[in-house]
Amino acid sequence: MYANFRVTRDTASDFIRLFVNRRAFGMQAHKPLPNGKVPYFLAKDWTTKQPKPLDNDVVRMHLNGDVTINLYAINPETQRCKWVAIDGDFDGAVEALFKLQWELKQDGVEAAIEQSRRGGHLWIFAETPLLAAECRIYIYNLALRLGVPIVGGGLKQGIEVFPKQDTVEDGEYGNALRAPLGVHRKTNRRYWFYEASTEPEPQLAYLNGLKKLTEAELHTFIKGMTLPENYKPPVHEPYVPRPARDGQQEFRILDYVRPRTKDRRNWWAPCPSCRQAGKDKSGDNLAIQIANPRYYKCWAGCSADDIRLALGQPIRKKQMA
Ligand SMILES: [Zn+2]
């Protein structure tokens, strides 16, 4: 079990200053689902159904251990973030995070490592909110230089960088990350930052004392750099449905699978072919391009033929006239 605290409004304000960059947030369910996951739900106002703004009271409940929240990195009004968090939960992740922390230190950037269930999160705080796209250029290039793998660009194992998007549009949220210093509902544990004693106040004092990354420094670090080629968002061809031929509608994958999640580029759905083989437990092996759902890909390697067969919709071979 975890310790409960009674933090003050000032402690919650400290937390907000460091971590809260937009007011929409998610709440973690109190109990795991049968599959063991403990999902987060976007917090909404009961009456208006609009996202509920995060306030001091909710942050206090999070720090006390009564609820658990997650946070979105990017503010859609500015496309900026107050922090960058690097999530590592693969074999060797903790070593990779310490390596990144050390390398950042060589740039004069003080980053803090928070423990997590299977690895850790490395946090960098900004003096003033920084463009998400520029933060990503910095971290992606740094990680690749050190040989630290990054998820995406064909890799499933590696660090994940939050903000996960360069920009989010109005009404979008991007990806959220569990807010630090609270209780993880899956393990009923708190995960603390190394280097400070394990209560909210000294933890926040430690984070407040770190040197913050300035925009001028960031600009120096990324001069002449772009996001590495493999990780650039693809340029989309616009989707124009083809007219029906021989009374046959064009095959549309979204008529057959129900996506579980969405990011800027893709819907993520269970792969029918993996499912048939008893795989894809997490139900997100199949990426379907949002801009043009004609393009879909199973990250476990099933071919389009496999997927269509599993759906009972085999690809029609071109027939001779
Ligand atoms: Zn598959």
- The answer to whether 133 and 165 are in contact (CB under 8 A) is no
> What size, in residues, is the chain?
321
Q: How far apart are CA 97 and CA 99, in angstroms?
A: 5
> Which of 282, 286, 259 minimizes the C-alpha distance to 37?
282
3-state secondary structure of 166: coil
User: Would you state the pLDDT for residue 237?
Assistant: 66
Alpha-carbon distance of 13 to 19, in angstroms, equals 10
Mean pLDDT of 178-200: 95
pLDDT at residue 125 in the model? 98
- Residue pair 257/272 in contact by the 8 Å Cβ criterion: yes
CA gap 276, 297 in Å, rounded: 16
d(CA 103, CA 83): 17
Cβ-contact 251, 294 below 8 angstroms? no
In this predicted structure, what is the pLDDT of residue 212? 96
* Per-chain residues with Cβ under 5 A from ion ligand 1: 271, 273-274, 285, 298, 300, 302
Close Cβ partners of 241 (under 8 Å, ≥ 6 residues apart): 250, 252
pLDDT digits (tens, 9 = 90+) for 291-319: 889 899 999 999 999 999 999 998 877 65
- Give 257 Cα–ligand 1 centroid separation in angstroms: 12
Per-residue pLDDT tens for 85-134? 999 999 999 999 999 999 999 999 999 999 998 899 999 999 999 999 99
User: What confidence score (pLDDT) does residue 321 get?
Assistant: 47
What separation in Å is there between the alpha carbon of 231 and the centre of ligand 1? 22
Say yes or no to pLDDT of 243 above 90. Answer: no
Domains delineated in the chain: 9-231 (3.90.920.20), 253-310 (no CATH)
- pLDDT tens digits for 19-71? 999 999 999 998 888 888 888 999 998 888 888 999 999 999 999 999 999 99
**Three-state DSSP class for 191?**
coil
